[in-house]
Amino acid sequence: MTQRVLTGITTTGTPHLGNYVGAIRPAIAASREPGVESFFFLADYHALIKCDDPARIARSRLEIAATWLAAGLDTNRVTFYRQSDIPEITELNWLLTCVTAKGQMNRAHAYKASVDANVAKEEDPDAGITMGLYCYPILMAADILMFNAHRVPVGRDQVQHIEMARDVAMRFNHLYGQGKELFVLPEVEIEESVATLPGLDGRKMSKSYDNTVPLFEGGSKALKEAIARIVTDSKLPGEPKDPDSAHLVTIHDAFADAATRDAFRADLRGGLGWGEAKQRVVQLIEAHVGPMRERYADLIAHPERIEEVLQAGAAKARATATPFLSELRQAVGLRQMVAVAQAQPGKAAVRSDVPVFKQYREADGQFYFKLTSAGGDLLLQSQAFAEGREAGSWVKRFKTEGAQALAGAPVSLADGVDAATVEAALAALVAAQE
């Protein structure tokens, strides 16, 4: 079965080399594996929790989108979108908020850390804490559950959030699923094999340590300058060096094949000077990053192209989110009055008198559904879907909402059949299920 892999990228800051090696590159590689359907999105609603400077929010969204595209993300293969383009996520956020225990949010690490910091400073425990920060894990659960992701690759600091998403999903399934799993329970995925890249001083490369190497910013000049500042021991050229204790080597290895790695180590043991060693590292990274940097500059110069890609991604994501959210609304009881009014108590139709939906797959590999009358006449024909699941969600929607689902639905009336006939058939179907 296809595994859905989903991850969010909070749009604050500008990506550095550590982000590329630790997150972007492995995610793109994983998205090319067979049997995987990847959802990558810009978590710009999450960014608002951390930043209230509109210009920075806008800039960071653009730069991060351009970085992923320049790094080779294939948007025909993956679904790449902005969280804020999917209104269904915020709607789901509320449905989930209503089943989330406040006590569980009290225990969230990010919130607790802020409270602890306030207490340490002898301030009010809630000083500067917004409801956005407090409810952060629920929004994240909505991101994940909206698309029924099986796997969520994240950093260690996010593990608790995925566990919370599972809990909320379980609770929702239990309350509203009527024995059916409305939500897939997501699994956290920690990439053990992916190295964390050390920064200039040898600690983990991170903006908060101010030890980063820029990925694209400042061009090859800035790259050269940053590499020159990497801390090494003070051995002179000619003196043998220990490659295993030099984080310059770790940075080198992140861009080198096995043979290049071995040669670099051997040369350092043989006395290669640090200056020359750094030049090699610059060349190696430049060969990898240079072409990406050109694509990046081109994208930044044409933000409308990025916009177009993201709009297309949003449409793709919403093709799943819209019918699923409508199913969830039904499940919690937010239903059309019409379907309720048309149901005739005590007069449930006999199954065989009721029109039927059929789902099927054509020789073209695409999925379809159709509605036929109890007598077998074709009433309604769907268009083609790439995923059987999409056809399934529409059928489910028609069965619960009846004729209300017709507006904007990807279906057409059969020749010679009028809308009233179809509406009546759908009403009969809904009534039969009451």
**What is the distance of C-alpha 148 from the center of its chain?**
11
Cβ distance to ligand TRP smaller for residue 10 or 250: 10
Binding flag, residue 24, ligand TRP (CB under 6 A):
no
Could you say which of 16, 46, 150, 397 contacts ligand TRP (CB under 6 A)? 46
**What is the distance of C-alpha 313 from the center of its chain?**
11
Q: How far is the CB of 76 from ligand TRP (least distance, A)?
A: 22
**CA distances, 174 to each of 148, 188, 272, 397 (Å):** 16, 21, 64, 21
Backbone angles phi and psi of 231, in degrees to 5: -75, 130
Q: How far is the CB of 89 from ligand TRP (least distance, A)?
A: 9
Tokens of 328: 């969830």
Residues in contact with ligand TRP, shown as a per-residue x/- string from 113 to 142 under the rule CB under 6 A: ---------------------------x--
Three-state secondary structure call for residue 70: helix
Cβ distance to ligand TRP smaller for residue 16 or 293: 16
Cβ distance to ligand TRP smaller for residue 148 or 404: 148
Cβ distance to ligand TRP smaller for residue 23 or 230: 23
Residues 380, 384, 386, CA angle at the centre, nearest 5°?
A: 145
83 neighbors 49 (Cβ within 8 angstroms): no
Q: Which residues have a Cβ under 8 Å from the Cβ of 340 and sit 6 or more positions away?
A: none
Tell me the C-alpha distance between 98 and 91, whole Å. Answer: 11
Instruction: Considering only residues 187 through 206, tell me which ones interact with ligand TRP, judged by CB under 6 A.
Output: none
Taking CB under 6 A as the binding criterion, the range among 4-12, 32-40, 114-122, 168-176 that sits at the site for ligand TRP is 4-12
Residue 98 CB burial class (10 angstroms; 0-12, 13-18, ≥19)? exposed
Q: How far is the CB of 155 from ligand TRP (least distance, A)?
A: 6
Binding flag, residue 321, ligand TRP (CB under 6 A):
no
Taking CB under 6 A as the binding criterion, the range among 7-15, 73-81, 401-409, 420-428 that sits at the site for ligand TRP is 7-15
Q: How far is the CB of 8 from ligand TRP (least distance, A)?
A: 3
Question: Which residue has the CB atom at the shortest distance from ligand TRP?
Answer: 8
Tell me the C-alpha distance between 174 and 140, whole Å. Answer: 20
Could you say which of 4, 5, 8, 249 contacts ligand TRP (CB under 6 A)? 8
Q: How far is the CB of 213 from ligand TRP (least distance, A)?
A: 20
Binding flag, residue 152, ligand TRP (CB under 6 A):
yes
Short-list 347, 319, 330, CA closest to 404: 330
Q: Which residues have a Cβ under 8 Å from the Cβ of 136 and sit 6 or more positions away?
A: 46, 49, 108, 110, 111, 161
Count of residues that interact with ligand TRP, criterion CB under 6 A: 12
Binding flag, residue 143, ligand TRP (CB under 6 A):
yes
Could you say which of 24, 43, 309, 429 contacts ligand TRP (CB under 6 A)? 43
Q: How far is the CB of 25 from ligand TRP (least distance, A)?
A: 16
Cβ distance to ligand TRP smaller for residue 154 or 349: 154
Short-list 308, 314, 304, CA closest to 81: 314
Cβ count within 10 A of residue 423: 16
Amino acid at 331: A
Short-list 299, 302, 295, 315, CA closest to 79: 315
Cβ distance to ligand TRP smaller for residue 83 or 330: 83
Binding flag, residue 51, ligand TRP (CB under 6 A):
no
Handedness of CA 120, 124, 125, 130 (dihedral sign): negative
Q: How far is the CB of 154 from ligand TRP (least distance, A)?
A: 5
Q: How far is the CB of 57 from ligand TRP (least distance, A)?
A: 15
Cβ distance to ligand TRP smaller for residue 45 or 398: 45
Taking CB under 6 A as the binding criterion, the range among 119-127, 151-159, 325-333, 348-356 that sits at the site for ligand TRP is 151-159
Cβ distance to ligand TRP smaller for residue 30 or 144: 144
Cβ distance to ligand TRP smaller for residue 135 or 426: 135
Residue by residue, DSSP assigns 367-432 as EEEEEE-TTS-EEEEE--BSSHHHHHHHHHHHHHHGGGGGTT-SEEEPTT--HHHHHHHHHHHHHH
Q: How far is the CB of 140 from ligand TRP (least distance, A)?
A: 4
Backbone angles phi and psi of 49, in degrees to 5: -70, -35
Could you say which of 7, 100, 342, 393 contacts ligand TRP (CB under 6 A)? 7
Binding site for ligand TRP (CB under 6 A): 6-8, 10, 43, 46, 140, 143-144, 152, 154, 158
